[in-house]
Amino acid sequence: MKNLFSLMLMIFAFSLVTSSQGIDNENFVVAHGPYLQRLNETGVTIIWTTNKPAVPGVSLTTPDGNVRFVRNSHDGIIDGGGLVHKVRIDGLEPGKTYKYSISSVQILKYQAYKIYYGDTLNRKSESFITPSMKSEKISFTVFNDVHGNSGKMSSYIKNGNKTGQDFYLFNGDMIDFLQSEDQLFPGFIDSAVTYFAAVKPFYYVRGNHETRGYVAREIKSFFDYQDDRFYYSFDNGPVHFTVLDCGEDKPDNNRYYYGLADYDTYRKEELEWLKNEVKSDAFRNAKHRIVIVHMPIIKGEKQGYGMKFLSDNFGPVLNSAGICLMMSAHTHRNTFYESGKSGFGYPVLVNSNNSFVEVEADLQGIKAVVKDVGGKIINTYTFK
Ligand SMILES: [Fe+2]
């Protein structure tokens, strides 16, 4: 009994010592990622997170075998000190294969005149291929309205073309809302990393649900958007993509926005951008033009406020712009509107919350195959 009492006293004393010294027994690890963003002919952004503050870097092996270690800096200070790491690599060549390995140096103490480093984590190398505008054929997969059901999303990926695609598009409402940073990763990013995102880039298009919750304000920290905007364009092979941000679905004065919504102003700014976008050389000279937007821009009766705003204001700008296909989501129903039947001069393919779309585009046209969770073909559409 006396021995047991002594042992308990020793354990208690040890726990007091360790807690007073702040001993942290959690290993330093990469928590999420890496995943590729904004991969273009000459650059890529690689993002990952660690569970403790770190200085990030990427070791890049070029096609001719040279190794470059890349760290980014802003205003003279090397990026680091946080948990989310974003490294942009420029100066790449189109259509080439590069190997990369992420490196994280733990920061134990960060003071004005004293910085202590801890472990360095070097992850296994991955590879990516830069796109080339000379490519005559591209393929990509569109997911949407998964609403945080990553199990369903994994089923899609397992039963679809999981490695052969050039890139992936998440067309909004991938999560219900963003109240905590932890929702994004189990919600869909971790599954994407498991299957493709370390080697193929994805584009995360904002749906109306991604505007909700406190952390919705921080969403850009976890991704890399062209010009730091949710609406932008990019080119891949024969296709010019115009990505639009639909904003919220209800009027700005809806009581559930508690006076913090300003989407009418925002969409008007976006509309001015769109007017210039459809006049740009990249848009007009492309072989095919695809618009990606979460809420379909169609004419219809009894439309909600957001959809009607887009229909009244964005529809006329896109109407005669030569759009080959608009890919949308939001309604949770598989619907196809032929050009003209959408109310505008372009076809609209709306993907449901229980299917995904595999798209191939070459010089002849575009083929979109809608598949269910089990990989069974629901419908095939071709656009010449
Ligand atoms: Fe939606």
The string of pLDDT tens digits covering residues 56-108 is 999 999 999 999 999 999 999 999 999 999 999 999 999 999 999 999 999 99
| Token pair for 310 | 């887009």
CA of 339 to the centre of ligand 1 (A): 23
Report residue 87: phi and psi, to 5°. Answer: -120, 120
CA of 131 to the centre of ligand 1 (A): 30
CA 188 to chain centre: 10
Note the pLDDT tens digit of each residue in 301-339.
889 999 999 999 999 999 999 999 999 999 999 999 999
pLDDT tops 50 at residue 18: no
CA of 145 to the centre of ligand 1 (A): 7
CA of 201 to the centre of ligand 1 (A): 23
Note the pLDDT tens digit of each residue in 345-363.
999 999 999 999 999 999 9
Question: What pLDDT is recorded for position 356?
Answer: 96
Question: What pLDDT is recorded for position 15?
Answer: 46
CA of 170 to the centre of ligand 1 (A): 12
CA of 59 to the centre of ligand 1 (A): 39
* Residue 152 binned pLDDT confidence (cut-offs 50, 70, 90): confident
What letter would DSSP give residue 91?
-
CA of 307 to the centre of ligand 1 (A): 10
Question: What pLDDT is recorded for position 16?
Answer: 45
CA of 294 to the centre of ligand 1 (A): 7
Question: What pLDDT is recorded for position 2?
Answer: 52
* Residue 22 binned pLDDT confidence (cut-offs 50, 70, 90): low
Note the pLDDT tens digit of each residue in 197-242.
999 999 999 999 999 998 899 999 999 999 999 999 999 999 999 9
CA of 175 to the centre of ligand 1 (A): 10
The C-alpha angle 115, 61, 94, rounded to 5 degrees, equals 120
Note the pLDDT tens digit of each residue in 359-372.
999 999 999 999 99
Predicted TM-score of the model (pTM): 0.92
CA of 204 to the centre of ligand 1 (A): 14
Question: What pLDDT is recorded for position 164?
Answer: 83
Percent of the chain with pLDDT over 70: 93
CA of 247 to the centre of ligand 1 (A): 10
CA of 194 to the centre of ligand 1 (A): 25
The mean pLDDT of 274-286, rounded to a whole number, is 98
Task: Look at the block and give the residue holding tokens 């024969």.
Answer: 238
For residue 96, which amino acid is it?
A: K
Q: How many CA atoms lie within 13 A of 112 on its CB side?
A: 0
CA of 173 to the centre of ligand 1 (A): 5
